[in-house]
């Protein structure tokens, strides 16, 4: 049975997804139009990862999310600046990112950091001339856009604590 609360939450999520996608798309389009749709998708996914069942949990998940994405983006940019994409290299970088997240006591964010690595590295194969630093910076900023829009949504339209 659909409740009023379920409808409210579904509407909130739908609006956050729309805003995150559009924000990521248009931001990325300014710098690298060929990956604008991926930018929108990455902002949407990042927002959905941050969005939790309660306002308190959403607020608590935002900073580790951004930190995990930052770690994945930086390590990917360094790797791709030195070496071309290779599936074994990607696996090695994911392993390093996982370990680093555990050392930094954010093991729950290791999955998103690893997903960031995969996204950046696979995009480098689709767009071989794409500057690795710009690729990583865009993916990080898209994650920040999604995260920020979720935080704004839960602060303006709070869910249960």
Please say if the pLDDT value at position 56 is more than 80: yes
Banded model confidence at residue 4, pLDDT cuts 50, 70, 90? confident
Query: Is residue 81 scored above 90 in pLDDT?
Result: yes
**Which of 94, 120, 130, 117 lies closest to 38, judged by CA?**
120
Could you tell me the pLDDT band of residue 108, with boundaries at 50, 70 and 90?
confident
Asked if pLDDT for residue 158 goes beyond 80, the answer is no
Q: What is the pTM of this model?
A: 0.92
**What own/partner pairs with CB < 8 Å and gap ≥ 24 does 131-134 have?**
132/76, 132/77, 132/79, 132/80, 132/81, 133/77, 133/81, 134/31, 134/32
Average pLDDT over the chain, rounded to an integer: 93
Alpha helices (runs of H) in 2-54, residue ranges in sequence order = 4-31, 36-50
Q: Read off the pLDDT of residues 63-79 as tens digits, 9 standing for 90 and up.
A: 988 999 999 999 999 99
Burial class (CB in 10 A: 0-12, 13-18, 19+), 7: exposed
The structure tokens listed for 32 are 């690298």
């Amino acid at each position: 049975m659909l409740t009023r609360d379920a409808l409210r939450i579904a509407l909130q999520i739908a609006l956050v997804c729309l805003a995150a996608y559009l924000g990521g798309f248009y931001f990325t389009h300014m710098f690298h139009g060929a990956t604008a749709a991926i930018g929108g998708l990455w902002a949407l996914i990042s927002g959905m990862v941050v969005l939790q069942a309660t306002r308190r949990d959403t607020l608590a998940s935002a900073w580790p999310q951004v930190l995990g994405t930052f770690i994945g983006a930086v390590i990917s940019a360094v790797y791709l600046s030195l070496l071309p994409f290779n599936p074994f290299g990607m696996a090695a970088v994911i392993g390093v990112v996982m370990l680093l997240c555990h050392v930094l006591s954010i093991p729950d964010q290791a999955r998103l950091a690893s997903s960031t690595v995969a996204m950046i590295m696979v995009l480098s194969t689709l767009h071989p001339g794409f500057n690795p630093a710009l690729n990583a910076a865009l993916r990080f900023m898209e994650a920040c856009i999604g995260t920020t829009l979720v935080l704004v949504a839960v602060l303006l339209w709070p869910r249960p604590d």
